[in-house]
Amino acid sequence: MDSNLIHLKFKERFGGSAGSLYAAPGRINLIGEHTDYNDGFVFPGAVSQSIVAEVRPNGTRWVRAYAMDLQHYCEFDIDSEEGPESVCFRYIYGVVRLMMANGVQVEGFDTVYGGDVPMGAGMSSSAALESCFGTALNDLFHGNLEPMQLALIGQATEHQFVGVKCGIMDQFISMYGRAGSLVRLDCRSGEYAYFPWHPQEYQLVLVNSCVKHVLVGSPYNDRRNSCERVTQMLGIETLRDCSWEMLEGVKERLSPEDYRRARFVVGEVERVMRVSDALERDDYEAVGEQMYLTHEGLSRDYEVSCAEVDFLVAEARRLGVTGARIMGAGFGGCTLNLVRNDRYEAFVTEVQKTFAAQFGVECKIIPVVIGDGARKIK
């Protein structure tokens, strides 16, 4: 996102002196879907697309916020127990309230924000928004919160103020991203390791189906509830602790739906570790095959895909793409594709043509550049 556009709109909207500029990225996740809230492993990377905000304290107890992409304006009292009704501003309100609860002396501020993280595409625009404002308020109001604390505040905002019971992956990578590296995160211990990502013969590209997913009030929470019912029956903390033998032992006592969802998660935890091993030996063909297996599970067992996304993955396999899968929580959004350089142009051209012929709309191609995490823009 061009920070100059944000600044011009800020000057037009609020006048006076300039505020400070902050940015936080969206993300891709190579593998490890729906494992974060099951205490498993994930493999995300921050991307160059980001949310950018200009923020200036205003000496009051009120926030005046303008969402540039949506062309929405809102004012709210930071001491209010209710906050704004509009979801796009409840993310900011939640971050403000939780930072205050963590001892940061937040005051009112004016802000304009926008970005090029596509909303509803599975690239975690909401986590980018939370991380951007967490970083800004921590800096402007002299907080001493560590990046992981800010990530947890973003996650808690989703839980308490928006109604999405997400895991920690999206907020973590938006805070901890590093250009040229993916991160393997243990969602139980918080331990993480950077893996260099610069394959010479391959590149990542997103294909946006333009089917927007909506997690608030969606079946996303139903999937998490399925996992929790299985763990309660097994007497374990999360599905991270579930073996194949344990799952098969209670299969007859589970609903078919809960069994399939647990089967996906147990398999996905294993696939993340296979990808870790493959990356250490630069075996990108093995990485790609695990991506296809993940999509098969997400579509068949976890049931979070859709016809448009399944078509894109099938086309990727037909066109010789090394790996492809739905990315994000599901219910629409993007596919992530690992493509050999010599097949890239043909894939992009053909998949756009066949998708338009099948569905009557154009899919969008989004090149992936692995970028840095949340930061102040100098």
Catalytic positions are: 170
Question: What residues contact residue 249 under an 8 Å CB cut-off, 6+ apart?
Answer: none
DSSP string, 248-277: HHTGGGS-HHHHHHHHHHHHHHHHHHHHHH
Nearest-angstrom CA–CA distance, 2 and 48: 12
Nearest-angstrom CA–CA distance, 134 and 142: 12
Structure tokens at 320: 């010789």
Backbone angles phi, psi at 269, to 5 degrees: -60, -40
Structure tokens at 230: 């299985």
Counting beta carbons within 10 angstroms of the beta carbon of residue 245, is it exposed (0 to 12), middle (13 to 18) or buried (19 or more)? exposed
Question: What residues contact residue 4 under an 8 Å CB cut-off, 6+ apart?
Answer: none
- The DSSP bridge pattern shows strands 364-367 and 202-208 to be antiparallel
Strand blocks (E) in the chain: 20-29, 41-42, 44-57, 62-67, 72-77, 109-115, 181-186, 192-196, 202-208, 323-326, 334-340, 364-367, 375-377
Nearest-angstrom CA–CA distance, 120 and 305: 14
Nearest-angstrom CA–CA distance, 235 and 245: 14
- The DSSP bridge pattern shows strands 72-77 and 62-67 to be antiparallel
